[in-house]
Chain A
Amino acid sequence: MDISNDTLLDLHHRMVRIRLFEEEAGKLQESGKVPGALHLYVGEEAVAAGVMSHLSAEDQITSTHRGHGHLVAKGGDLRKMYAELYGRSTGYCKGKGGSMHISDLDLGMLGANGIVGAGPPIAIGAAFSNKYRGTDRVTICFFGDGASNEGTFHEAANMAALFKLPVVFVCENNGFGEFTSQARHQAIKDVADRAAGYGMPGIITDGMDVLAVYEAAGEAIARARRGAGPSLLECKTYRFFDHVGVRGMGVVYREDAEVLEWRKRDPITLFESRLEEMGLLTTEAAAQVRERILFEIREAIAFAEASPFPAEGALMEDIYTVRGAAR
Chain B
Amino acid sequence: MARGPIGIIANPASGKDIRRLVAHASVFDNQEKVNIIRRTVLGAVAAGCDEFLYLHDGHALVLNAIDGLDADATFTEVETPGTASALDSERAAARMREAGAAVIVTLGGDGTNRAVARGWEDAPLVAISTGTNNVFPRMVEGTVAGAAAGLVASGKLALADAARQCKLVRVEVEGERDDLALIDAVLLDEPFVGARAIWTTRVLRTMVLTRADPAAVGMSAVGGLLHTLTDADDGGLVVQVGPGGGTVVAPIAPGLFEPVPIAEVRSLAWGERVEVAGPGILALDGERERRLLRGQRAWLRVERSGPWVVDVARTMRLAACRGLFRFEAGGVDDAN
A residues sitting closer than 8 Å to B (CB atoms) are 1, 3, 183, 188-190, 192-193, 195-196, 201-205, 209, 211-212, 214-216, 219-220, 223, 231, 277-278
Contacts and interface: CB of A to CB of B under 8 A. Distances in A.
B12 A190 contact: yes
Contact of A214 (B16, B17, B194): B194
Given A1-B192, A202-B20, A204-B17, A189 B29 contact: no
A219 B30 contact: no
A203 B18 contact: yes
Interface string B45-56: 000000000000
Contact of A212 (B21, B27, B196): B196
Contact of A223 (B12, B21, B192, B193): B21
Nearest to A236: B84
A201 B30 contact: no
B18 A192 contact: no
B193 A193 contact: no
A190 B16 contact: yes
Interface of B: 12-13, 16-18, 20-22, 27, 29-31, 58-60, 190-196, 293
Contacts of B18: 203, 205, 215-216, 219
B192 A189 contact: no
Contacts of B29: 190, 193, 196
Contacts of A205: 17-18, 195
A9 B82 CA distance: 33
A193 B20 contact: no
Given A189-B12, A215-B18, A219-B21, A201 B27 contact: yes
Contacts of B27: 192-193, 195-196, 201-202
Given A204-B13, A211-B192, A216-B195, A231 B30 contact: no
A160 B327 CA distance: 56
Nearest to B58: A189
Nearest to B19: A203
Contacts of A190: 12, 16, 29-30, 59
A201 B58 CA distance: 23
A219 B196 CA distance: 14
Nearest to B18: A216
A192 B239 CA distance: 36
Nearest to B191: A278
A223 B22 CA distance: 8
A141 B23 CA distance: 23
Contacts of A216: 18, 21, 195
Nearest to B64: A187
A201 B21 CA distance: 7
Contacts of B190: 1
Given A1-B194, A202-B16, 5 more contacts: A190-B12, A196-B29, A203-B20, A205-B195, A212-B196
B17 A203 contact: yes
A291 to B, nearest CB: 28
A110 B257 CA distance: 39
Nearest to B196: A212
A215 B195 contact: yes
A5 B104 CA distance: 45
A215 B191 CA distance: 13
A193 to B, nearest CB: 4
A6 to B, nearest CB: 15
A3 B191 CA distance: 10
A189 B195 contact: no
Nearest to B288: A1
Contacts of B191: 278
A209 B20 CA distance: 19
Contacts of B16: 190, 192, 202-204
A216 B195 CA distance: 6
Contacts of B12: 189-190
A321 B278 CA distance: 62
B191 to A, nearest CB: 7
Nearest to B199: A219
Contacts of B58: 189
A204 B11 CA distance: 14
A205 B29 CA distance: 15
B21 A211 contact: no
B31 A211 contact: no
10 contacts: A189-B60, A190-B30, A192-B16, A193-B27, A202-B20, A202-B27, A203-B16, A209-B194, A214-B194, A215-B195
Contacts of A192: 16, 27
A203 B195 CA distance: 10
